[in-house]
């Protein structure tokens, strides 16, 4: 499956904006990490590998909740959101999942007026 050219162009534009802002082109993990930090307000000098994974998980759940794949159940006492999966993603190929995530990331940054 070929990536939709409009999606790909919008993705490259976002990467360029983020590279301009942060000094280097981010990969998907870095973008998810940024979104996770934005959503949780979790900012520390030292972040463990587990915390980084948790932030990226929050980002994925937040993004895909827009399409009903996840639902926010609660926020714990430390301010971390918790989600439950509502719709199954297993029937979607990995390429389609990546494109779905890219589209949701683009929508997220549009909503943030970035």
d(CA 22, CA 99) in angstroms, rounded, equals: 23
Q: What is the pLDDT of residues 28-73, one digit of tens each?
A: 999 999 999 999 998 888 999 999 999 999 999 999 999 999 999 9
Report the C-alpha gap between 63 and 57 in whole angstroms. 10
pTM: 0.88
Q: What is the pLDDT of residue 3?
A: 56
Q: Of 88, 60, 61, 89, which Cα lies nearest the Cα of 74?
A: 61
Residue with the two structure tokens 């943030």: 112
CA atoms within 13 A on the CB side of 65: 16
Mean pLDDT calculated for residue range 9-17: 95
Q: Measured between alpha carbons, how far is residue 52 from residues 38, 47, 83, 99 in Å?
A: 13, 6, 17, 22
Long-range contacts of 65-73 (CB under 8 A, 24+ apart): 66/104, 66/107, 67/100, 67/104
- Return the pLDDT at 1: 41
Domain parsing of the chain, residue ranges: 5-111
- Cα(69)–Cα(87) distance, integer angstroms: 5
pLDDT at residue 114, rounded to an integer: 81
Q: Per-residue pLDDT averaged across 4-10, rounded?
A: 88
77 vs 1 pLDDT, higher one: 77
């Amino acid at each position: 499956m070929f990536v939709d050219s409009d999606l790909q162009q919008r993705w490259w534009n976002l990467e360029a904006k983020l590279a301009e802002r942060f000094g280097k082109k981010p990969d998907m993990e870095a973008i998810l990490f940024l979104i996770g930090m934005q959503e949780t307000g979790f900012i520390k000098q030292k972040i463990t590998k587990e915390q980084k994974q948790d932030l990226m998980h929050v980002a994925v759940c937040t993004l895909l909740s827009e399409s009903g794949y996840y639902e926010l159940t609660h926020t714990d006492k430390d301010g971390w959101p918790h989600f439950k999966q509502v719709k199954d993603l297993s029937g979607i190929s990995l390429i389609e999942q990546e494109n779905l995530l890219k589209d949701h990331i683009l929508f997220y940054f549009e909503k943030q007026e970035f």
